[in-house]
Chain A
Amino acid sequence: MVEAYGVYILWLRDLKRYVRARSRIIGSLGMPLFFLAFLGMGFRRAQIPSLPGDISYIDFLAPGVVSMVVLFTSTFSGVSIVWDRQFGFLREIMVSPISRTTIALGRTLGGATTAIIQGFLMLAVSYIIGFRPDPIGMVYSFVFMVLIAISFTGLGVAISTLMEDIHGFQLVINFFVFPIFFLSGALFPVKEFPEFIRFFTYFNPLTYGVDGMRWSLIHYSEFNPFIDFLAIGIFSIFVIIISTILFDRTEVG
């Protein structure tokens, strides 16, 4: 059972907390900004074989870095349920009349929304650095950001149900989020990977998200954008189902 109003209340709480954490908003854009600025400068003149010559590296990189921001923010938000559990607030929600499914969905949408806002902030920052995306394409990129954000917030929620406490957080970042990021084609085309690694990238949902973002913003993609849309779209639905089922089973004891 899902109560739309319950989802909205939880979503609102996430947004309030997000808006209030100004230093975190700015802080979390630091690393991607440096990625974009320094990698962009460093590889400015490098010729990547699988990349058409008329596409500059910074244009190629910017959509990847925006996706990176969405990936990290959404996974963090999803996993942050563990904090709520640790600090007790989850109990306040769990003894209330709203259903577990509602709680899981509310958190997923709340976390996804903040990730999308962060993504657009990063887009604005990259504009300042000199990235010029197609204005109409930003509408399409919004769709892909939504799908990436929902997928990885949901995945974060699912992971949080398996975590005992916040100590597993570092593990999730280093052995889950970073590999997903590096194997997604965010920094260079997946075609550049040796055959056996490239194989893994095809099973990485973010690969399609990043490709869709790039198609939207600079009209270059490695796959058909419709395939990108289907792949990340189906994955996001799958994740929502799994995460609500897992969340439904948790006891807060």
Chain B
Amino acid sequence: MLFVEDSSEIIKVENLTKFFGDFAAVKEVSFEVERGEIFGILGPNGAGKTTLIKMLSTLLKPTSGKALVAGYDVVKEPQNVRKSIGIVFQEPTLDVELTARENLDFHGRIYGMDGKKRRERISEVLELVGLSDKADILVKKFSGGMQRRLEIARGFMHFPKVLFLDEPTLGLDVQTRRNIWEYIEKLRRDEDVTIILTTHYIEEAENLCDRVAIIDLGRIIALDTVERLREGIGKDSIEVVVENGSVFENLLKSQNLKVVKTADGLMISASDGEKLIPRLFSLAQKHRIEIHSVSLKKSSLEDVFVLLTGRKIREESAAMHPMMRIKRMRK
């Protein structure tokens, strides 16, 4: 085995690739995740996050490349990988005709937990996600947020070494989302588990994750701690809307500034934005370019993404969401 049990990487991915026909959903992705980390995979819709998670959880076979999860090869030892992981999918996977407790009981049984331990653990995880008083209610009566919490509870109840969360707060309202973040942090504090989380919400990656891989069109385009990713582009981010975008862009580039054209205007990253703004105005004046608006903010992972791709990680409306569609069909 390439991988020693007590080394600190719990996941090792090398050149992992997945083709659907001749379309590459994931392209030569490589990274490592350390034991005990919360590792984020941030990217827009269709970036390949779910496909990546499905390969790591043995549901999809990679076209090429290699991945070790908890020391086991996902292609050669899928059964062992499955024993070591827990997963919360992007779409709901609960049996809504059963109660919360029955869903957890079923889960505990298929993971071979015996009677007493299983019952104790069920109360414990229900407590942790705040569903103790709803244990014996049919899941179809649960709200979206409660179902999500139950799925998370189920995902880690069998003491997995690695827990995958694929867009854990997708389509939930802000309050519920914050709730779930709290549960995830509590989980990291209380349990010995490594968490891999995908998301297209910037805030989620920034608030929860130790390290973040930014993924676009199936490739990892940046990977580091949240702090260092932000510092890498400069702590401030300025957005300007001007009359003649491309001319101004070239002008700024000739001044060695980090500029990228976005759908709305130009985005400039800098380490001291306040001082840069007067410079922008004088430059514009000198070349007779009219500035319509300027805004300055602390740079975020969104800006990292924009700077690298020229696009935003858009948050689409909740009504369009696949999860919502499925929930509507259930009724």
- A residues at B contact (CB < 8 Å): 5-6, 9, 13, 16-17, 20-21, 86-99, 251-253
Q: Is the CB of B92 within 8 A of A88?
A: yes
Residues of A within 8 A of B17 (CB): none
Partner of A97 from B59, B94, B97, B110 at Cβ < 8 Å: B110
Q: Is the CB of B54 within 8 A of A99?
A: no
Interface residues of B in 81-115 (CB under 8 A from A): 82-83, 85, 87, 89, 91-98, 102, 106-107, 109-112
The size class of the interface chain B forms with chain A is 20 to 34
Closest 3 A/B residue pairs (Cβ): A88-B93, A96-B110, A92-B93
- Residue of B whose beta carbon sits closest to that of A89: B95
Task: Given contact pairs A13-B106, A92-B93, A97-B111, enumerate 16 new A-B contacts (beta carbons under 8 Å).
Answer: A5-B112, A6-B110, A16-B98, A17-B95, A20-B97, A87-B92, A92-B94, A92-B154, A94-B59, A95-B57, A95-B59, A95-B85, A96-B82, A97-B79, A251-B59, A253-B59
Residues of B within 8 A of A21 (CB): 97
Query: Which of A9, A88, A95 has most B Cβ within 10 Å?
Result: A95
Q: Is the CB of A9 within 8 A of B79?
A: no
Provide the bound-state CA to CA distance between A253 and B57, in Å: 11
* Interface of A: prevailing SS: helix
Known contacts A16-B102, A20-B97, A97-B111; A91 and B89 CB within 8 A of each other: yes
Chosen A-B contacts, 5 in total, with CB atoms closer than 8 Å, are A9-B109, A16-B98, A86-B326, A91-B93, A251-B60
Q: Is the CB of B107 within 8 A of A13?
A: no
Residues of B within 8 A of A99 (CB): 79
Partner of B110 from A20, A86, A93 at Cβ < 8 Å: A93
A11 → B minimal CB distance (Å): 12
Interface string of B3-31 (1 = CB under 8 A from A): 00000000000000000000000000000
Partner of B97 from A9, A17, A92 at Cβ < 8 Å: A17
Partner of B93 from A20, A89, A253 at Cβ < 8 Å: A89
Residues of A within 8 A of B60 (CB): 251, 253
- Residue of A whose beta carbon sits closest to that of B83: A97
Q: Is the CB of A92 within 8 A of B98?
A: no
Q: Is the CB of A98 within 8 A of B95?
A: no
